[in-house]
Structure 1
């Protein structure tokens, strides 16, 4: 018999629902007491798991609906520094709203709620988030990482599902607007995107061509580097950018090439992929505020988990 329990009743938060069924004697996820030194299939940690406050600068999960998390977490991060380094890469994806439970799924692993035993996300929740978000991730040149392989997660056991989830979500393919072009002019969002990108430049665009399923963006010679990252001097001479899977989706920023642009990107194999593009709009108070704040903004150290 399957009982549906509200996970956040334990922490006075009606946020997510757990599905409870009878547990088998042998399981890939053996629920061990948190007082034990053994955790997650017998791994030995330097310190036993403990409840800690979710810091404000853990942007992925600081507003998830509860205040404390278990550390080590369910991705084997033993320190808060590790958690922040890995979690930061996911913040731009959550902003894309590719699935309503993306944050719930990710935070159940990065910042698991304090319970007396580890509770993993349900396999079907992982599959729904993966299927809905993969088209957007591919537009940024990101694969679904091995660390989140859905086959690892339980089905038919105590697990976390989406809140009020009665109908499974399905992937709808690429969104109507090219993901790198679908950008709100918000100070925090832009700064987070800059930090998560390999390189950032201010430039004008000379020409845009279609190349297979991509759009090939040829830049003018004059460019201003705001974040060098993985770029090299030899790259700058003839820098060509690609809007992955962007041949047929709208990108209003590319409708008028007379503008200057703030372009963010990353290098994938031999291509430089656009991950974000904004019109350099001096008339926008929000954009001007962002550029002013960027001068003194210090990015956290991120670890690229999308290898």
Structure 2
């Protein structure tokens, strides 16, 4: 089994590679990552995994040079931050539009099943938020493109949507850090947790291992669009900060972010997937480790 994972040196991609290795014994995984947020520390030390430092823009040439069949493509290697996308529209376009076009073409050429990580941001505000920022807009257009390629050329695909992924390996510092990652770092340092105003905005926080099991389940049994991977419970940012039992401060709101987020997981659950890690339990373990 020959598999491509884009973004395989990133937070979710590296955990996915571990999950695929555990799920499929006879497998060879090629990771293509530009290391924009991925790191060498996320590499898996296994002879079944091959790491290529390059852009998805070049993925068809990379595969042609190495040769061989391709059975599945897990496309996670895209730009994935909302506020920053206003300042880096060219980067979003290159990584998420141009790069994805090449990944889709590679999958279609080889008859490989494409598993695409769509953005849950487009479901905010009754589906109106897909135009709220450059990141959400391009991600939504990519899903349209994938559906069209399937209609035009018979591409086998499944689209999953991640809801606020957290857990081991998450980014904890810098402009691309996750909310839970930032809270963890601040808690460990004894600093006040920084809650983005107004604090009442809600998110559906999902553990990375549940995301990985959802991706693999959708690859095995899913087809088409609409597989939302979340815990299924919305929590306000303020209530999450309070779970840490630490002081917090409010910081100015950021442009382009939605006010509410909760996954309708019914379609993914119908395949047999079930999230298992609840955020309060995870935070209790984190705070217990620093007691």
Could you state the TM-score of these two structures normalised by the residue count of structure 1? Answer: 0.30
Could you state the TM-score of these two structures normalised by the residue count of structure 2? Answer: 0.31
Considering only CA atoms, is the larger Rg found in Structure 1 or Structure 2? 1
The answer to which structure has the higher strand fraction is: 1
